Structure 1
Amino acid sequence: MNLQEFPRQIYTEFKTPIQPLCHLSKRLGGPNIYVKRDDLLGLTGGGNKTRKLEFLVADALKQGADTLITTGAVQSNHCRLTLAAAVKEGLRCRLLLEERNRKYNPNANGNHFLFELMDVEQLKVVPDGTDVVKEMEAMKQELELEGRNGYIVAEGGGNDIGAMGYMNCSYEILEQSDEMDLKFDHIVTASGSGGTHAGLVAGIHTSKADVSITGINVRRSKLQQEEKVYGIIKNLSNRLILQDIIPRKTVQCFDDYIGPGYALPSEETINAIQLLAQTEGILLDPVYTGKVMAGLIGLVKKGYFSKEDKVLFIHTGGTPAIYEYASTILNKENNPK
């Protein structure tokens, strides 16, 4: 599928590497695990939202926006990268932070420090359960009253426009597989706002590649998340005018590794973060990638993969947030809140 007809801003001028996790694979006794280093993507601190923002910001510029508006949790990687994209494009940015199991701390490290460093124009904090879509619409209307043009970036870039970033990523993975003479049997990814998961499924399906994609949920139940991801796929299919219907069964999620809740790491999450740091020197975060790696390890132990399978773990980033969780990750506190 050719996405060149859609506007795109380039924020990463290279393919992110695919690397073998030899020590981790040996520790687990197979399968053969590899990592796609999307934590090394462009913009401030890297991460999967960069791929989505290439298409979302291009759409904003096409519509003449002067300000980006988006939302996320108090340590949102998506908010960090949306702000970074705004800075790069000479736009302003307003952020709506939702307190999901973590209270807002104005003196926090991690992404909050970066919000301040990059000079966010407005930062509004709301309690968990707030209708964030309605709040962002209100922020857009405030800008209109000032004679400005705001563009609402969907939470996490989780819509059909953002998902095109991970259709592109799937093509990149298949190109690298050919170059490396390596065929992956499974791809394991975080499934949160849904755009990453949806884009990978759509890209692999339209390429007719025989690769299974497994999402590890970080927030919602299995059924809720699968419906959310498939909804994005249907919208994406309509946008791209795909003739081949992508089956519902291609969306597969597990909700066994969410732990106590969104942004609250379980013991398995902490163990996975420590294990990858100590075997491969790669950093994971406790909100997304730590839970996904815990899920991958859990599935290995359950026999979900064969010993000979080649499994690709998508590292979706989140590194700046880990510094706010330092005591939790090092087991120096009992309360992850």
Structure 2
Amino acid sequence: MPRLRLAQLPTPLEDAVHLSRALGGPRILFKRDDLTGVGLGGNKVRKLEFIMARALAEGADTLIVCGGYQSNLARITAAMAKRAGLAVELVLGGVPGEAQLRQGNLLLDELLGANVTFVETVPRWDFGDSLERVADQVRARGGHPFIMPLGGSGPEGMAGYICATAEMLAQFDAMSVQPDRLVVGIGSGGTYSGLLLGKLNLGGQYRLTGISVSRTQDYLHEAIPEAAGLGAQMLGLAHRPTVSELDVHDGYVGDSYGALTPACVEAINLVARTEGVFLDPVYSGKAMAGLIDLIRQRQIAKDETVVFLHTGGQPALFAYPPDALVTAVTT
């Protein structure tokens, strides 16, 4: 597959010694995909290397991206597009009033010069025909648009995390680490699907645990095998996942996608104060909240070795009130 190599790889695999001690075990390591480099980094960079390469191969000159008002995909796409000489149209949706907060990722979108169309989306991921309308506008002025999948979750995006699996397996060998579990947040499901395909097809001997930040477990049990199966077919992979191979949890979403929860706030503060690492309130904070709870509920044993995939997203911290984020830490 064509690939636009812009990410800073491999990303570090680091022992979180102080966090592990604060929780009384297990051994926790961070896979630092918040450090992929372009546009302040994050997991979307790996996906976009393949998605943007496809767009360029198809002759596109404009990328059309949809997401929430604080979309990490939008911010990183806008940054990578500048490196590739492409224009970007961002179609950002949410509830009324959110777009007035020119902070966090929205501020960075402006600095990157992306053209932004705001739409009110209820439910949040229903963009209707807004993407096609923007594509028609691009065509009307002589451009060649490429509409990116939601969350970068198509087969190209999965390919990024199959490659990431190979990268991690090499790091595990080099560090003599034998993880029992790999934990990651799940939004649209592309990162989890890519990691699952990587595990099944490259021989990963760990359990892949996903912490949902938006969707229900029932939805993910239906959607992930279907999407990952299609990805496996298009990528020529032998092994395709079944529902029985999924380990996903939906109890940490809170009131809605992006809404703070006390457990997420605690996780953000605990990791910052033990490891000097910042999590975001939408994805990695809730994923870490899930990991911490599974440890406290003894669903993850104290003698396990756990790799936590940090997907980035820290600019979203600056779109939340400080008093809602900063709290005392208990263990």
- TM-superposed CA distance for 1:223, in Å, is 1.1
Q: 1:111 aligns with which of 83, 96, 105?
A: 105
The residue number in structure 2 matching 1:329 is: 325
- Read off the aligned partner of 2:282 and give its amino acid letter: V
Runs of at least 5 residues in structure 2 that lack an aligned partner in the other structure: none
Of 130-139 and 167-176, the range deviating more from structure 2: 130-139
The residue number in structure 2 matching 1:266 is: 261
- The correspondence of residues 118-129 of structure 1 with structure 2, limited to 5 A, is 118-129=112-123
Give the count of matched residue pairs.
Answer: 326
What percent identity do the matched residue pairs reach? Answer: 37
In the superposition, the TM-score normalised over structure 1's length comes to: 0.93
Distance 2:229 2:108 in 1: 35
- Superposed CA deviations along residues 130-168 of structure 1, whole A, max 9, x for unmatched, are 632622122112212222110011111012211111111
The residue number in structure 1 matching 2:61 is: 66
2:178 is paired with a residue of what secondary structure? coil
- TM-superposed CA distance for 1:96, in Å, is 0.9
CA contact (8 A) 2:99 2:118 kept: no
The residue number in structure 1 matching 2:86 is: 91
- Superposed CA deviations along residues 195-214 of structure 1, whole A, max 9, x for unmatched, are 10000000011012211100
CA contact (8 A) 1:191 1:225 kept: no
Of 137-146 and 67-76, the range deviating more from structure 2: 137-146
- Read off the aligned partner of 2:71 and give its amino acid letter: S
- The correspondence of residues 291-306 of structure 1 with structure 2, limited to 5 A, is 291-306=286-301
The residue number in structure 2 matching 1:310 is: 305
- Read off the aligned partner of 2:324 and give its amino acid letter: T
Of 83-92 and 134-143, the range deviating more from structure 2: 134-143
The residue number in structure 1 matching 2:200 is: 205
Distance 1:298 1:277 in 2: 17
In the superposition, the TM-score normalised over structure 2's length comes to: 0.95
Runs of at least 5 residues in structure 1 that lack an aligned partner in the other structure: 1-5, 333-337
Distance 2:293 2:197 in 1: 26
Note if 1:233 corresponds to 2:228: yes
Distance 1:148 1:174 in 2: 42
The CA RMSD over aligned residues, in Å, is 1.6
Q: 1:170 aligns with which of 165, 168, 171?
A: 165
2:31 is paired with a residue of what secondary structure? strand
The residue number in structure 2 matching 1:284 is: 279
2:184 is paired with a residue of what secondary structure? strand
1:242 is paired with a residue of what secondary structure? coil
